[in-house]
Structure 1
Amino acid sequence: MKFFNIKNKLAFGGLLLTLLTVSSCQKYTELNPINSLSEATAFDTPANIELVAAGVYNTAAVGSYNGGSGRGYPFGAASIEQGEMRGEDMVNLATFYQITYESTYTSTTANNINLWSNLYALINQCNILIAGVEAAAAKGTITTAVSTQYAAEARFLRALAHHELVINFSRPYVDGNGSNIGIPYRTVAVNSTDAVSAQIQVPRGTVAEDYSKILADLDYAEANLPATRSTYAITRATKGAAIALKTRVKLHMNDFAGVITEGAKLGTSATTAPFTSPIGNYALTASPDGPFTGFSNNTESIFSIENSAAANGGVNGALANMFGPASLGGRGLVATSPNLYNASFWVTGDTRRTLLQIQQTTTGAKYFFNYKFRDYTNKTDYAPIIRYAEVLLNVAEAYSRTTALDTRALTLLNAVRNRAVPTASQYTILSFASQNALTQAILNERRIEFAGEGRRWPDITRLSQDANFQVAGGGIPAKILVTALSGTGSNWDAVLRPTTAAAKAAIAYSDYRYIWPIPTDELNANPNIAQNAGY
């Protein structure tokens, strides 16, 4: 058994913090007890409790890779890249994400295993924090109000982590209203040998049960988190972050009325732009690159995962390194798909091509890359989890699906889109011949606006059962292979708009590869968990 202790220190948010880390006998379940620091020590002072909470956020940012150094799991560069590589809007150029991109994963391949293990490591640390602060409040170490706020932060992260698991390892909610098998929803802190034994035997419930628990955690977080923070304003959970995440979760459920209700709390029921949230004062930045040029301080980022020069995913897991071209100091691992770059719905003059895309200048490799993450030296770019732009588009889609040619949907769509497109290309309600046409425009906008933020796979899977808006066959889309890309950059041409053939065939929704396999180590440790069919 490998042990980690609380003496491992990392700089987090400009402070030297002691990091609480949990490891395990079962390498991928990350469920064993704390061995080098008793809970009594970890939670015996307010200062120590704050260090533990900060360590939980650090786990969300960096994680580990096969038990070693971090690579941006569960909510850093690696997980964001996974969300893109499962879709078709980026092209894999190297071997780093080839398994995910070409769907050749198994129950022993590293990327899907490490996403599972790091998400459950984070979940366990959330549960340890909840149990620890409740005990500290009972002893009078902290007040009940302070304990409740820490618990709300942990429950927000727990909900976020479980949702990431269920959209990758289970069929989507929209298939049978959540009747398919879900993932284990773990809510008990593993802090003793007995607890380990009990907790690793948690079975898989249904997807619907998972979503119910996710929403219960988010409701608790909303009720008990502050609206604003004077420090760590966008990198610690807030009331607005919990509400924003509920708009996402309810969209995955096709609960359009629920999306509208939650969005209204954040100002989306206004009839005219600009939109400003009464909770948290969120607003779109004037320019579409605002959340990325000012990633640590902007009005649009509702919740992001913090990175710093001393605490980041490193060369193998930092956002800029993963996304960036070699000519700027990145690794050139994935390029923007020319079929997205040239898409007719990405209109000429859209400033997101010039501000948030960049061409590799190295001879023979003039591909276009995502340019949202730019600190190739210090790797301090924050990982965007949810932005106000997403809330606006979530609600826009909900309105568009509820009422035919709803002007409220158009207004929300235009609020995001019009800051980037020329006046002549801006939409009016007459731009759309049908209700579906407006919804499709919103879905197209999501592909442009969130390119490089890991949102493509979640959209593909939640739309898989909707014949009007799914990718072909409702499954994993066909992919461009690097061999089809010209070294001159000619594939990317927003004037002639050529289409590059996708040589990697689509995978049908019915194929077992549509969802990821449960890791072998989890199966060996938990007699009550079943493997996904086909693996």
Structure 2
Amino acid sequence: MKKVTSRSYNFRRAAVAAMLLAAGTSIVSCKDFTELAPISLASEESAFASPGNIKLAMMGVYESAAIGTYQNLKSSARGYPFGAAAIEQGEMRGEDMLNIDQFYAITYEGGANPTSLNNVTMWHTLYALINQANILIEGVQKAGAKGVITDAEAKAYEGEARFMRALSHHELLVHFSFPYADAAGGKWGVPYRTKAITSLAAYEEGLKMDRGTVKDCYTKLIADLDFAEANLPDKQPDGAQRATKGAAIALKARIKQHMGDWDGVIAESNKLIPAAAPYKSPIGAFQLTAEPDGPFTSYKNNTESIFSIANGPNANGGSNGALPAMFGPASLNGRGLVATSPILYNASFWKATDKRRALLQVYQPTTGSRYYFNYKYRDYTTRADWAPMLRYAEVLLTAAEAHARKGENDRALALLNAVRNRSVEVGDQFTTPPADLVLAILQERRIELAGEGRRWADIHRLALDAVYGFRGIPAKMKKEQMKLDGTDYNAVTPPTFPTTGGVPSYAYESFRFLWPIPAEETAANPTLRAQQNKLSD
């Protein structure tokens, strides 16, 4: 009998333990999560023996989404996979934020390998979360059949778990697989796991699963989200920290955007966007906040946040992972590791008087360390800022792109302006479509979603776009190219930076474009061993 060595399969203790956590990340600490005693099968079954336990099990799934263990260390929480890490890794794989220290150098410079910790931990914690969702799905199906909860309640819980399963698999796809546009999704995907692995027999069965194709994975993503949409409520009593019908629709719109299915994007988005302004969703009552900082000054209770991962004072990514720690300036008690890059700050398309400069950027005046930092995450004391996963602004911009791609410029411009006009002065507003409306929408995404982890996802999906794609990873700035006296940031008369000394661009064909499957995984899984991504050029 084989020994189970891969952490991606060896989930049972962590998965069941997390299900029994008390609800709410402000109550449960990381220490509680990682130091529970081993759980017996009887205890696993008890997790679904009462309505109260089932809710705790569901909250345990969200808790694991916020705080996975780093390097499998019980005492080390870094906000994996979605509490902070997905956002940080998504930004560091792009060019719009600047790596200041060595903390994110491997990700930032494209040096990931099968044992480098950030990419390895993302793989492990995403699959651990997927397995936990699968355990919950099987548990609530049985609980529903036994009458512990109603059939509708069972399906609603299953919808939440399937939403999280889809969110996790899609995160894996944008890092470990080529985009859908490559040969119409015919490249290798990632193992799309839909069965709970709680025993050696289930582990052995799991070893038979290959990566499938990207197209196969996207078909399963849509199926999971169709189920979620059909069975989730419009609103949750716990707010945006739990999946809703609107969240399932918004995620479907994002996924269809990655597929280049513009008709599909419009069909999904129209469920959330009325035909005319003011745009207030008929499902969930989502609408833009009056000011662009609204979703971040009141991250627990605002009209724009569709789905967020809850962090709390006692459960967050800590000083080595939490969003305000990583993105916050040292002058405000952050660690100052990731700043806004002059590539974005000085971009000609970001107007100098845009409100988002004053409201969502903060300047560190320290001599020799003068940077602008993202100011969306600002609880530098308790690090309780929630991690935004889906916002109504993104839905509007995703729909705008789809309409523009189809030549429906009036609708596209109206949706773009709904987001843009709350931040720019009247003289800078578009009254007619710009010459390249799609480009204007893509540029608006870079400004509006800066610091929310969407930059890499856009680079990835657009990589092969003949007009808007980089066909690889764009060049980035390095700290060493800057003068650090404050003059590096000037939106009116941008400085000229040295042409050498930065992080070079990398071609789509380079091994650096995709993260490799962890060595620990390929050592345990002979099927994936033969399907490893390119490891060198």
TM-score, reference length from structure 1: 0.93
Does residue 214 of the first structure (1) align with residue 225 of the second (2)? no
Give SS of 1:376's match: coil
Query: 2:44 — aligned with what?
Result: 39
Does residue 136 of the first structure (1) align with residue 140 of the second (2)? no
Counting only pairs closer than 5 Å after superposition, residues 320-335 of structure 1 correspond to structure 2 as: 320-335=324-339
Equivalent of 1:108 in 106, 111, 115? 115
1:43-75 superposed Cα distances (whole Å, 9 cap, x missing partner): 111111111111100010111101122201111
1:436-491 superposed Cα distances (whole Å, 9 cap, x missing partner): x00000000000000000000000011111121113xx101101011012221111
> Are 1:190 and 1:196, in contact at CA under 8 Å, matched by a contact in 2?
yes
Counting only pairs closer than 5 Å after superposition, residues 409-428 of structure 1 correspond to structure 2 as: 409-428=412-431
- Rounded to whole Å, the distance in 2 between the matches of 1:336 and 1:534 is 30
Equivalent of 2:53 in 43, 48, 56? 48
Query: 1:155 — aligned with what?
Result: 162
Mark the CA change 1:310 to 1:17 in structure 2 (over 3 Å): closer, same or farther. Answer: closer
> Are 2:174 and 2:460, in contact at CA under 8 Å, matched by a contact in 1?
yes
1:363-422 superposed Cα distances (whole Å, 9 cap, x missing partner): 210111000000011111000001000000000000000016x11000000000000000
> Are 1:320 and 1:373, in contact at CA under 8 Å, matched by a contact in 2?
yes
> Are 1:19 and 1:55, in contact at CA under 8 Å, matched by a contact in 2?
no
Does residue 314 of the first structure (1) align with residue 314 of the second (2)? no
> Are 2:177 and 2:189, in contact at CA under 8 Å, matched by a contact in 1?
yes
Letter in 1 for 2:197: V
Deviates more, 1:514-523 or 1:497-506: 497-506
Equivalent of 1:391 in 389, 395, 419? 395
Query: 1:26 — aligned with what?
Result: none
Mark the CA change 1:170 to 1:335 in structure 2 (over 3 Å): closer, same or farther. Answer: same
Mark the CA change 1:381 to 1:17 in structure 2 (over 3 Å): closer, same or farther. Answer: closer
Equivalent of 1:401 in 405, 416, 428? 405
Give SS of 2:389's match: strand
Query: 2:509 — aligned with what?
Result: 510
- Rounded to whole Å, the distance in 2 between the matches of 1:18 and 1:454 is 23
1:175-213 superposed Cα distances (whole Å, 9 cap, x missing partner): 111000110000001122211221233211000000000
Mark the CA change 1:400 to 1:20 in structure 2 (over 3 Å): closer, same or farther. Answer: farther
Query: 1:432 — aligned with what?
Result: 434
> How many correspondences in the alignment?
516
Mark the CA change 1:225 to 1:327 in structure 2 (over 3 Å): closer, same or farther. Answer: same
Structure 2: gaps (5+ residues): none
Query: 2:197 — aligned with what?
Result: 190
Query: 2:82 — aligned with what?
Result: 75
Letter in 2 for 1:482: K
Query: 1:258 — aligned with what?
Result: 264
Query: 2:467 — aligned with what?
Result: 468
Letter in 2 for 1:39: E
Letter in 2 for 1:389: A
> Are 1:342 and 1:497, in contact at CA under 8 Å, matched by a contact in 2?
yes
Equivalent of 1:12 in 12, 24, 30? 24
Runs of 4+ in 1 over 6 A off after TM superposition: 17-23
Instruction: Report the Cα offset of residue 144 of structure 1.
Output: 1.3
Mark the CA change 1:355 to 1:233 in structure 2 (over 3 Å): closer, same or farther. Answer: same
Mark the CA change 1:501 to 1:221 in structure 2 (over 3 Å): closer, same or farther. Answer: farther
Identity across the alignment (%)? 55
Mark the CA change 1:402 to 1:92 in structure 2 (over 3 Å): closer, same or farther. Answer: same
Instruction: Report the Cα offset of residue 11 of structure 1.
Output: 6.8
TM-score, reference length from structure 2: 0.93
1:320-360 superposed Cα distances (whole Å, 9 cap, x missing partner): 00100000011111110112111110012100001000111
- Rounded to whole Å, the distance in 1 between the matches of 2:137 and 2:31 is 16
Letter in 2 for 1:493: N
Query: 1:235 — aligned with what?
Result: 241
